[in-house]
Amino acid sequence: MDLRGRVAVVTGGAGHIGRAVSAALAELGASVCVLDLDADQCAAAARQLVADYETSALPLAIDLSDESQVRGVCDAVLRRFDRLDVLVNCAALVGKSELQGWATPFAEQRTPAWRLALEVNLTAPFALAQSCAVALAASGRGSIINVSSIYGLVGPDFRLYDGTRLGNPAAYAASKGGLLQLTRWLATALAPRVRVNSLTPGGVLRGQDATFQERYVARTPLGRMATEEDFKGAAAYLASDLSAYVTGQNLVVDGGWTAW
């Protein structure tokens, strides 16, 4: 498994899963464009990749809800690296966001939060795929990885959230489910030059309420929540030639959560 000479864009690259995915690709030799909202966090994540893996990294701070910024990503990457091989759509609004009308009971959820979730979680991946398609095809090994969620596959068990500070917005599930279907659509539309697959994580341990953790673990066949390290191998596989005959698929990394 070798990604030397290849260039990857990772949206949400300064976040938890994004950092792990970026590290997995950099460890295999890829140059990585770390794309996120906060310029300081992008720069720090890029510096860490260079320090840890002696690779090239480009920090790029953009707002994924701004289409003009999204469509400028490919040009910025080509100016720096002159190629693009892998696009990982990892950024997302998540369930514990403080956005008003977001992580609240259904009756209190609001359309501005819904629209923002669709912009960031679904529209931005569409626009990035469209604007990067020519460069990805030109690489000869183009790969798009859309990071979805188990809640794009199944409905939430709200009993896990009872009495906790956590929520599960409808917009998150709808946008992540839409991303899975976008994966299948793009896999046929961009074939045979670009492969398109999804990586679907289960719940990640991040200091959630103890009650939630206990309930989640009890419902997981492998008996624990995920760590970011659990997704590195899946991302490396989908980005590399090991998956050269794999497209339109969804690789679920959830400890068996959706196997029930």
**What strands, in cross-sheet order, belong to the sheet with 31-36?**
57-61, 31-36, 7-11, 86-89, 142-147, 194-201, 250-253
CB-based contact 186:144 (threshold 8 Å): yes
What are 233's two structure tokens?
């191998």
Q: Is 172 a catalytic residue?
A: yes
What are 85's two structure tokens?
């091989």
* Spatial distance between the Cα atoms of 112 and 115, rounded to a whole number of angstroms: 5
CB-based contact 150:143 (threshold 8 Å): no
Q: Classify residue 41 by burial, with Cβ atoms within 10 Å: 0-12, 13-18, 19+.
A: middle
Half-sphere exposure of 20 (CA within 13 A, CB side): 17
- Judged by DSSP in three states, 27 sits in helix
- Residue of 53, 151, 161, 172 with catalytic role: 172
CB-based contact 110:181 (threshold 8 Å): no
CB-based contact 213:185 (threshold 8 Å): no
DSSP H or E segment with residue 32: strand 31-36
**Residue numbers annotated as active site:** 172
